[in-house]
Amino acid sequence: MGNKISVNPDRLEDLANELVSKLSKIEAEYKDLHLELYNLISSAPAEYSHCFYQVGDPWGTGNQLVDLLSEMEIDLRMTANKFSDADNLVGKLYKLYDQYGALTAMGALATKQLTFYGLGFTQFTKNADGLFTYKHMGALNQLSDLIDNSKYKTVGRGLLSPSFLLKKYKDVPFADLVHKKIAKYLPDDVTKYTDSSRALYRGVLNNTLDSTKFKSFVQTGAKFARTNAVSTLAVTGIMEAGGMSLKISENYAKYGNNPEVLKRENAKAVGNAVNNTVAITGGSIAGAVVGGALLSWAGPVGTVVGATAGSFVGGIVGEQAAKLTAGIAEKAAIAFKEPIHAGVEFFKGGLEKAGKVVEGVNKGVDFVNEQIKETIADPVGKVKEIGSKAKETASSLVDGAKDFLEDKLSFF
């Protein structure tokens, strides 16, 4: 029977906070010592200058010590966070929901794409050269011509998506933009990437691969990747920026009275947001390109659906990769904690207000966690307790209603 380890995450966090306080004092002392030593050497007579040749450099030594202690603080606080997360039953449920939510969103997108193609709004066929071409449903083409040739062209494109007002979409038919709105890619980009992927496969299988086929695959793949990069970066960036803001708000609530800890934790939040955005976006883009190429054997529709699935899988891989580089990102961000803090302070008022809300939510989560643990430990007793409280509440309501009626009807 294994022994249980009991760890108080709050105590670990207190130790990390104390370590940061010591860090700031050490940093101030070695900088002062360096300045005093410099002044002493500068003011010493020239004939005694050789006495300082073997004197150590307090700046370099102090920096090394602070770097070592800083890494220890990061590891200590990370350990505290892991223990805290392991003890957070509500948080685990939320993470489970988050994973299933992402899976559901991916399934919804793939279903929408397949429905669009299944209803025949856009069809792909091979021409005499064996290359794919596309055509839109007659009704969609008529609507496209009507909008493109009217004075409401700009309004129609803007309603479809504000991004379609960009100059690069100026000459793109409205029907193609409808395809992009649903399938994420312009139909011409899909056919070209499908053709180059299939040509690459045939070249490998038949030992006829040449530089032309490989160059075409790289060029069309790069354009396919850029298309996916825009939407992926926007979505990931928005999500990470939101998470970063919540984390900084929570930091203000927890460390508002401890400036040194606040600066470090806010810098870590920014570093993690950037790290996650880069890793998840990169993984998602690579996944879309690989997934699209793998399913290109099924034609352009397979390319689109494969890119959607590949983007999701790549994002998951990127999320795991981000955990491996999180420590590096935090250390890099801490080096810029002062300018980051100056920027964050600009929004201090709103962040502090949000922090109070986050703190209230965290207290609510702690209460729910405690109730869940008590129920798991003694389900029968908890049910009796709930029943007793419900009975007391009902009796109180009845007595209150009785008193109210007796008071209001006392004139009878």
Residue 23 has pLDDT above 50, yes or no: yes
Residue 362 has pLDDT above 70, yes or no: no
301 domain-assigned: yes
242 domain-assigned: yes
Residue 361 has pLDDT above 70, yes or no: no
Counting the structural domains of the chain, the total is 2
Residue 383 has pLDDT above 50, yes or no: yes
Residue 207 and residue 175 in one domain = no
Residue 244 and residue 138 in one domain = no
CA distance 168 to 157: 13
Residue 268 and residue 343 in one domain = yes
Q: How confident is the model at residue 44 (pLDDT cuts 50, 70, 90)?
A: confident
Residue 101 has pLDDT above 80, yes or no: no
Residue 260 has pLDDT above 70, yes or no: yes
243 domain-assigned: yes
Residue 172 and residue 319 in one domain = no
Q: What's the mean per-residue pLDDT of the chain?
A: 77
CA distance 42 to 48: 11
Instruction: Say what the pLDDT of residue 390 is.
Output: 56
Instruction: Say what the pLDDT of residue 72 is.
Output: 79
Q: Percentage of the chain surpassing pLDDT 90?
A: 17
What is the domain extent for residue 147? Answer: 134-183
Residue 178 and residue 287 in one domain = no
Residue 303 and residue 154 in one domain = no
127 domain-assigned: no
282 domain-assigned: yes
CA distance 9 to 362: 15
Instruction: Say what the pLDDT of residue 97 is.
Output: 47
Residue 153 and residue 229 in one domain = no
Residue 225 and residue 193 in one domain = yes
The amino acid at 317: V
Residue 176 and residue 314 in one domain = no
Instruction: Say what the pLDDT of residue 125 is.
Output: 92
Burial of 118 (0-12, 13-18, 19+ CB in 10 A): exposed
54-61 contact pairs (CB < 8 A, 24+): 58/30, 58/33, 58/34, 59/30, 59/31, 59/34, 61/30
Q: How confident is the model at residue 412 (pLDDT cuts 50, 70, 90)?
A: very low
Average pLDDT over residues 349-353: 58
The beta-strand segments (E) located in 37-184 are: 122-126, 132-136
Residue 184 has pLDDT above 50, yes or no: yes
Residue 74 has pLDDT above 90, yes or no: no
Residue 164 and residue 288 in one domain = no
368 domain-assigned: no
For the ranges 17-21, 61-65, 150-154, 282-286, which has the lowest average pLDDT?
61-65
Average pLDDT over residues 328-346: 83
Instruction: Say what the pLDDT of residue 302 is.
Output: 92
Instruction: Say what the pLDDT of residue 411 is.
Output: 47
Instruction: Say what the pLDDT of residue 340 is.
Output: 86
Q: Which residue has the tokens 């966070």?
A: 81
Residue 155 and residue 293 in one domain = no
13 domain-assigned: no
* End-of-domain residue from the set 356, 376, 395: 356
Residue 257 has pLDDT above 90, yes or no: no
Residue 21, C-beta contacts closer than 8 angstroms, at least 6 positions apart: 258, 260, 261
What are 188-223's pLDDT values in tens digits? 999 999 999 999 988 888 888 888 888 999 999 888
Residue 168 and residue 253 in one domain = no
Distances (CA, A) of 365 to 90, 91, 343, 369, 372: 7, 8, 30, 6, 10
The amino acid at 305: V
Residue 116, C-beta contacts closer than 8 angstroms, at least 6 positions apart: 122, 179, 182, 183
Residue with more model confidence, 18 or 288: 288
265 domain-assigned: yes
CA distance 388 to 244: 43
Residue 143 has pLDDT above 50, yes or no: yes
* End-of-domain residue from the set 356, 373, 404: 356
CA dihedral 212, 217, 220, 225 (to 10 degrees): -150
Instruction: Say what the pLDDT of residue 1 is.
Output: 45
CA distance 194 to 212: 16
For the ranges 16-20, 121-125, 315-319, which has the lowest average pLDDT?
16-20
Average pLDDT over residues 117-138: 91
Instruction: Say what the pLDDT of residue 98 is.
Output: 54
Instruction: Say what the pLDDT of residue 53 is.
Output: 64
Residue with more model confidence, 220 or 87: 220
Instruction: Say what the pLDDT of residue 349 is.
Output: 63
